[in-house]
Amino acid sequence: MNQTQYLQGKEAEEFVNKLHLKTVVSEKSDIAFYEGSGGTLTVYITYYQDNKIARQEMNRMINKMQTTETIFIKGKRMEIADQDVFRCFGMGQTHYIFALDEKLFWVSANTMIAADFIEYYMDYIN
C-alpha cells in the first residue's frame, strides 16, 4: 500500500467534520489515506488525554451505531491482537474501531484486504 495523502491537525478535523456534516471531532486528529492493488484504506486517529477517555469515546460511537439508524451494518465486538475491536460494514468497506493508549482508531478498508490489513496494522502499532 502506498500512502497517497496525510492530514493532521485542523485539516484532519475539518475533513472528519465535513464527512459527518457536523462537528464530531475537536481533538487532535490524523488521517492517512492509502491505495494499492487490493484497493483503498483510510486510518483515522484521534488523540485524547488518556486511554479512559479514548475508550469512552469508542463505546459512545459504537452505542450510537448500534442504537440508531446508520449506514453501518453487522457490528460486532471481537478481539484482534489482544485488543477489543468493533468491526462493522458499510459504504463497500470493512471498518474497525478500537482504542489504544490515548488514541482512538477508525480503520476503513476494502473488504477484500481488510482482515489481513488489520492484523498487520495491530502488530505494527503494538
CA–CA distance, 105 with 30 (Å, rounded to integer): 10
pLDDT tops 80 at residue 1 = yes
CATH number at residue 70: 3.40.1000.20
pLDDT tops 80 at residue 17 = no
Q: What is the mean pLDDT of residues 21-34?
A: 80
User: Does residue 101 contact residue 49 with C-beta atoms inside 8 Å?
Assistant: no
Burial 94-112 (b: 16+ CB within 10 A, else e): bbbbbbbebbbbbbbbbee
In sequence order, what DSSP letters do the residues of 89-119 get, joined into one string? EETTEEEEEEEETTEEEEEEEEHHHHHHHHH
In 3D, which of 54, 44, 93 has the Cα closest to residue 71?
Answer: 93
- Coil vs helix vs strand at 81: coil
Task: Give how many domains the chain has, as a whole number.
Answer: 1
Q: pTM above the 0.85 mark?
A: yes
pLDDT tens by residue, 71-112: 899 999 999 999 999 999 999 999 999 999 999 999 999 999
Partner residues linked to 96 by β-bridges: 87, 107
User: Which DSSP category does 62 fall into?
Assistant: H
Confidence of residue 31 (pLDDT cuts 50, 70, 90): very high
Look over the chain and give the mean of its residue pLDDT values, rounded to a whole number. 90
Output 27 or 35, whichever has higher pLDDT.
35
- Predicted confidence at residue 100, as pLDDT, reads 96
Q: Which domain covers residue 86, as residue numbers?
A: 2-125
